[in-house]
């Protein structure tokens, strides 16, 4: 049965990929995911019918109805789920799945518990084929996975992020990072303890007052989820353009919260080394597409210059995420990116640009009980030479959760009050 599953899976995947390529070459829009799955199920049925006819003609034993249904389900799961990974993707308590080989698989739960689980494929070759099939059917743009392109990053249909390697690792390896809150709101984050009600009111007012905000924290620290939740506070019809290395924010998926979102994603160079589109390219392009706000999924390099320029040139209310180990550390990270960018900004110019562009830095950390929490919020107040001056409005408390620290500047408080902040209640919190 495994051989039959493999043959049908390969045949159906090839036919869907051929259909997608034909659509692209003719200028037709790509099939929506639901239509693609229905098309694939029709092809699976055709392949099984062909197998049955050939078995009848040759006198081979036929599949019983139960086995035939199992073959169809397994192929469908391999093509439109993720094979042996799917059972873990279906578990809402699992956050990360890491396969170091087909039979060396570990999962991490939302409470931080880690567990080794069974194989997700029959062999390393089968694991690579699962990834290759997913890349061909679900990827946006060119998504090869072979020794010539041994690293792959892509978004899965549920919004999870998949990173895979082969050739550069001893075995084909896969890491999947899931977003447990694909349509997160600040209300939901408050209920799970990421922030309290006064902080929620503060961040909501900051977004509505069109303050430029950077969210910082460690890898897997919840930055994307918080960005998604903060964006949920915006009016539904605001024009938002998102720019990401890999689609993760998913604001364009949440039509109930956002009716006018354009999502842009980086494109890597093809096998000839042509056609690359960088984050920096996309940020500049986004500015020409009439955005009310620009949201950059994660700043990693020279895209920080056009992004900061955008924040000072009429695109107030923009949002981005950044890896940093503290709220204060965000400034040195941005300055280092600016120094390495083609513009080669000197330290003084970088500090001035950062201080003029940003209004707030929000830092996420792990509380002592393991919960991801907002731990610090800084208001940017200006610069002095190469130093960005900031005011820590919220500082880490004893358990690392943010508590009120220093007062806001009067003009900032006035802006937040005009955007709906209950100033008396907030000051009393």
Q: What is the pLDDT of residues 106-124, one digit of tens each?
A: 999 887 789 999 899 989 9
Beta carbons within 8 Å of 269's beta carbon, 6+ residues apart:
275, 276
Tell me how long the chain is. Answer: 429
How much is the pLDDT for 143? Answer: 66
pLDDT tens, the chain, 429 aa long: 778 888 898 888 888 888 888 888 888 887 887 788 889 889 999 999 998 888 888 888 888 888 888 888 888 877 887 888 988 988 988 989 999 999 999 999 887 789 999 899 989 998 998 898 788 766 554 467 888 889 988 888 777 889 999 999 999 999 998 877 777 899 999 999 999 999 999 999 999 999 999 999 988 788 999 999 999 999 999 999 999 988 888 899 888 999 999 999 888 777 677 788 988 899 889 988 999 999 998 888 888 888 898 888 777 899 999 999 999 999 999 999 988 888 888 999 999 999 999 999 999 999 988 889 999 999 999 999 999 999 999 999 999 999 999 999 999 999 999 999 999 989 888
User: Are 243 and 283 contacting, i.e. CB atoms less than 8 angstroms apart?
Assistant: yes
Token digits of residue 185: 């709101």
Please provide residue 100's backbone torsions phi and psi, each rounded to the nearest 5 degrees. Answer: -85, -15
Token digits of residue 12: 């159906």
Query: What domains appear along the chain, each with residue ranges and CATH number?
Result: 1-80 (no CATH), 84-178 (3.30.450.370), 186-428 (3.40.50.300)
Q: Per-residue pLDDT tens for 8-55?
A: 988 888 888 888 888 888 888 878 877 888 898 899 999 999 988 888
Write out the H or E segment, with its range, that includes residue 155: strand 151-155
How much is the pLDDT for 139? Answer: 57
User: Are 156 and 162 contacting, i.e. CB atoms less than 8 angstroms apart?
Assistant: yes
What pTM does this model have? 0.76
Nearest to 361 by CA among 142, 149, 213: 213
CA distance 187 to 87: 29
CA distance 275 to 267: 7
Please provide residue 224's backbone torsions phi and psi, each rounded to the nearest 5 degrees. Answer: -65, -40
User: Are 130 and 121 contacting, i.e. CB atoms less than 8 angstroms apart?
Assistant: yes
Question: Rg (Cα) of the chain, in Å, rounded?
Answer: 24
Beta carbons within 8 Å of 79's beta carbon, 6+ residues apart:
9, 12, 13, 16, 40, 133, 137
């Amino acid at each position: 049965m495994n051989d039959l599953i493999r043959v049908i899976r390969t045949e159906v995947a090839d036919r869907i990929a051929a259909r997608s390529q034909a659509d692209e070459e003719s200028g037709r829009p790509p099939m929506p995911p639901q239509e693609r799955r229905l098309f694939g199920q029709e092809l699976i049925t055709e392949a099984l019918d062909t197998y049955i006819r050939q078995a009848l003609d040759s006198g081979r034993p036929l599949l019983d109805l139960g086995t035939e249904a199992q073959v169809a389900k397994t192929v469908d799961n391999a093509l439109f789920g993720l094979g042996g990974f799917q059972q873990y993707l279906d578990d809402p308590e699992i956050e990360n799945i890491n396969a170091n080989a087909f039979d060396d698989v570990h999962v991490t739960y939302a409470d931080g518990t880690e567990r080794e689980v069974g194989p997700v494929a029959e062999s390393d070759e089968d694991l690579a084929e699962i990834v290759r099939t997913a890349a061909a059917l679900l990827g946006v743009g060119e998504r090869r996975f072979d020794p010539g392109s041994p690293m792959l990053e892509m978004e899965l249909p549920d919004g999870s992020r998949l990173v895979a390697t082969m050739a550069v690792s001893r075995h084909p390896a896969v890491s999947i990072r899931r977003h447990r809150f694909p349509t997160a709101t600040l209300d939901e984050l408050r209920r799970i303890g990421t922030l309290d009600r006064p902080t929620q009111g503060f961040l909501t007012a900051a977004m509505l007052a069109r303050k430029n905000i950077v969210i910082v924290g460690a890898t897997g620290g919840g930055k994307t989820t918080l960005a998604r939740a903060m964006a949920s506070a915006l009016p539904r019809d605001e024009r938002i353009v998102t720019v990401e290395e890999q689609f993760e924010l998913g604001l364009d998926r949440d039509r109930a919260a956002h009716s006018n979102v354009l999502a842009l994603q980086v494109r890597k160079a093809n096998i000839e080394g042509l056609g690359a589109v960088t984050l920096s390219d996309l940020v500049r392009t986004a500015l020409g597409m009439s955005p009310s706000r620009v949201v950059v999924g994660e700043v990693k390099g020279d895209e920080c210059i056009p992004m900061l320029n955008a924040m000072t040139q009429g695109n107030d209310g923009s949002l981005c995420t950044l890896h940093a180990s503290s709220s204060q550390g965000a400034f040195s990270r941005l300055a280092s990116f600016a120094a390495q960018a083609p513009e080669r900004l000197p330290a003084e110019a970088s500090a001035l640009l950062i201080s003029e562009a940003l209004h707030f830095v929000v830092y996420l950390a792990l509380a002592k009980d393991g919960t991801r929490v907002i731990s610090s919020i800084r208001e940017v107040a200006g610069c002095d030479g190469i130093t960005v001056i900031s005011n820590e409005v919220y500082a880490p408390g004893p358990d690392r959760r943010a508590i009120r620290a220093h007062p806001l500047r009067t003009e900032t408080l006035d802006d937040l009050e005009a955007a709906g902040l209950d100033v008396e209640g907030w000051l009393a919190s």
